């Protein structure tokens, strides 16, 4: 394990933005995680944990302290349980599940980033969320310096949320286990999937192929432009507030959450110029703009600054507030 100094971080993020890490280390095992944390404690350095860099916006000023890049690998299948290292690519895990006829995460195909990031963020797409199959996550606690296992209920997962999201950089996710099913239960209720499979029940392979195709048509080419996917969380309102909003905008779809009494508001609807509420097509801040094929996504041309993206995000937050009085939050983590 080598601890390096002054390492540029932009190439480790999908936004391709950000300055350098004061100290930087790649870790491949729990022993290396422990060693890195001990080094940070000894030198009195702040710790920042980086996975696939797919949901972060790193400041151009860089990150002080030690950036720990999680590269713990391993995918093991036992019965219907997949146990995976936190540094594995999430999509490689989905591919492995689908090729073994295991159902439960096929709708989460094509999401960039690592397993660790997926757990922290409780990733979700097309009606599936990781928390529906996650059995446990093993972590290293940087304050007690001990290994610990969180069960599914310990994780307090919510919409793009978990206990780890609320305690940034305290827990380093090491491994996670997913309980999958041999009985295929395809969920194609989201409109893009429903439109493809209206008259037949698809196989897991077919769902995965469809999700990959739909996503790639709506996502920018990361070799050309940067992005961290959906930039904002869809807000959750009470049924009463959601109905008030729908009276103002009768075409607005509402999605009641099965797990709570809240109602999810599809923010992208307001940002879709075709609905005549907000039109972001002409708005540019430096190299940053809202993506024309996916209205919740910010894209950044190469050489954009972190401030370009933050300023654009502020403009969107203000416009949404003007129209709905809702204070929206970024889904992307600022570092
Ligand atoms: P869409 O089908 O056009 O729907 C727009 C929004 O409405 C989505 O954000 C989705 O919320 C919600 N929605 C649609 N159908 C729903 C249903 N049957 N039940 C509950 N909620 C419903 O969505 P899209 O923008 O093309 O995205 C498709 C999926 O990919 C979504 O699940 C989205 O979250 C996911 N995605 C994720 C990222 C990311 O960076 N994490 C980026 C783009 C898209 P949810 O977002 O809560 O599902």
In this prediction, residue 258 carries a pLDDT of 78
Catalytic, 305? Answer no
Q: Is 174 exposed, middle or buried (0-12, 13-18, 19+ CB in 10 A)?
A: buried
Q: Please write the tens of the pLDDT for every residue from 255-312.
A: 998 777 899 999 999 999 999 999 999 999 999 999 999 999 999 999 999 999 999 9
Binding-site residues, ligand 1, Cβ < 6 A = 124-127, 189-192, 218, 229-230, 234, 255, 264, 266, 268, 294
| Residue 185 pLDDT exceeds 90 | no
In this prediction, residue 260 carries a pLDDT of 78
Give the single-character DSSP code of 201: P
Q: Please write the tens of the pLDDT for every residue from 78-95.
A: 999 999 999 999 999 999
Pocket test residue of 15, 54, 216, 255 for ligand 1, highest count of atoms within 8 A of CB:
255
331 C-alpha vs ligand 1 centroid, how far in Å? 13
- Return d(Cα 35, Cα 1) in angstroms, integer: 9
Mean pLDDT of 190-217: 94
Catalytic, 160? Answer yes
Catalytic, 153? Answer no
How do 255-256 and 225-230 pair as beta strands? unpaired
Residue 80 Cα distances to 76, 134, 142, 155, angstroms: 10, 12, 31, 21
| Residue 5 pLDDT exceeds 80 | yes
- Return d(Cα 173, Cα 238) in angstroms, integer: 33
| Residue 97 pLDDT exceeds 80 | yes
In this prediction, residue 200 carries a pLDDT of 83
Q: Please write the tens of the pLDDT for every residue from 31-74.
A: 999 999 999 999 999 999 999 999 999 999 999 999 999 999 99
Scanning the chain, the segments in alpha helix (DSSP H) are: 30-43, 90-99, 115-121, 191-196, 204-218, 239-248, 267-271, 306-324
Protein residue whose Cα sits closest to atom 10 of ligand 1: 266
In this prediction, residue 159 carries a pLDDT of 86
Instruction: Say if residues 293 and 299 touch (Cβ distance below 8 Å).
Output: no
Pocket test residue of 266, 292, 331 for ligand 1, highest count of atoms within 8 A of CB:
266
């Amino acid at each position: 394990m080598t601890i390096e100094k002054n390492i540029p971080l932009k190439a480790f993020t999908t936004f391709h933005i950000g300055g350098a890490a004061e100290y930087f280390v790649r870790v491949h095992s729990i022993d290396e995680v422990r060693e890195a944390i001990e080094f940070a404690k000894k030198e009195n350095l702040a710790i920042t944990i980086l996975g696939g860099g797919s949901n972060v916006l790193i400041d151009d000023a860089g990150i002080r302290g030690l950036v720990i890049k999680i590269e713990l690998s391993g995918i093991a299948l036992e019965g219907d349980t997949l146990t995976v290292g936190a540094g594995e690519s999430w999509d490689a895990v989905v591919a492995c599940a689908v090729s073994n006829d295991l159902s439960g995460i096929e709708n989460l195909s094509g999401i960039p980033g690592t397993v660790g990031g997926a757990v922290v963020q409780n990733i979700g797409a097309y009606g599936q969320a990781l928390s529906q199959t996650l059995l446990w996550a093993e972590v290293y606690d940087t304050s007690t310096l001990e290994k610990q296992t969180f069960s599914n209920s310990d994780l307090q997962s919510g919409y793009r949320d978990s206990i780890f999201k609320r305690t940034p950089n305290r827990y380093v996710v090491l491994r996670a286990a997913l309980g999958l099913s041999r009985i295929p239960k395809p969920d194609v209720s989201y409109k893009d999937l429903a439109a493809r499979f209206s008259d037949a029940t698809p196989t897991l392979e077919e769902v995965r192929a469809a999700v990959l195709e739909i996503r790639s048509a709506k996502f920018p080419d990361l070799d050309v432009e940067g992005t961290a996917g959906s930039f904002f969380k869809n807000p959750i309102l009470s049924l009463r507030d959601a109905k008030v909003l729908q009276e103002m905008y009768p075409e607005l779809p509402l999605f009641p959450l099965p797990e709570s009494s809240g109602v999810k508001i599809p923010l992208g609807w307001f940002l879709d110029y075709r609905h005549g509420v907000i039109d972001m097509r002409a708005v540019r801040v430096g190299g940053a703009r809202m993506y024309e094929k996916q209205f919740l996504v910010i894209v950044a041309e190469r050489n954009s600054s972190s401030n370009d993206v933050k300023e654009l995000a502020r403009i969107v937050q203000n416009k949404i507030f003007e129209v709905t009085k809702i204070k929206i939050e970024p889904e992307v983590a600022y570092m």
